[in-house]
Amino acid sequence: MKNIQLEVTRLIDNNIAVRKLLKEDLINVRALARKFLKEYQLDCSIEAVISAIRRYEAGRKETDYLPIIYKMLKKAKLSTRMKLSSILLRKNQYVREKLPRIFSLVDFEGGDTLRIFEVSKYIKIILEEKLITSIKKIFRDSDIVLIEDNLSELDIFYDVDITKTPGVFATLSNELAANNISIVDSMICYNEHIIIVLEKDTQQAFNVLFALIRKN
């Protein structure tokens, strides 16, 4: 049997709407417990779930960063970039040696976008879709895993270092997920949060993030 406290904590942490309602005492705890039991088939009594929710509320009072995050969002600025593409490459010595050639193709002063994400086995490059044909010629076909077109980037600029505050990414990603928007890629660097989405989701994603910023 799963640890009910851990499971309930995970369910609440992953649902920003529930967290807000609990914080503002606007939700019926028994109804929430009944919902968790039914939707997630928890192997316990409703009283055990209610108890776990109550312990969650008590334990989060001193570690609730939402007010801090909302305060930062209130001062944040939001911008978008469209017509982006990505190329996913295998991470090997050949690819590493060819990467510098990319920079000569990107017009940084003209406002071109270039993002490079590196993980254990792959390197992903996100840039203007007009450059993707030229970028493909730099690498071997065998090193190209995937190319995605029709991407957009949303940039949230804060006036403080957000890496010191837990929950910034979770707050935004949960809100987007609640609106059926998938995040293709994301990165936080000092006071900037970059979110990559499908171009078709750009307007809705912007509206969701804009609402977060403006309503606080």
Each domain of the chain, given as residue ranges in start order, spans: 4-63, 72-214
Q: Got the DSSP string for 15-52?
A: -HHHHHHHHTT-S-HHHHHHHHHHHH--SS-HHHHHHH
Selected residue with higher pLDDT from 68 and 99: 99
Q: How far apart are CA 102 and CA 115, in angstroms?
A: 11
Which of 4-18, 53-67, 69-83, 101-115 shows the lowest mean pLDDT across its residues? Answer: 53-67
Which pLDDT belongs to residue 134? 95
The CATH number that domain 72-214 falls under is: 3.30.2130.10
Question: Shortest CA distance to 66 belongs to which of 32, 22, 5?
Answer: 22
Share above pLDDT 90 across residues of the chain, in percent, rounded to a whole number: 63
Which pLDDT belongs to residue 131? 96
Q: How confident is the model at residue 61 (pLDDT cuts 50, 70, 90)?
A: low
Which pLDDT belongs to residue 34? 93
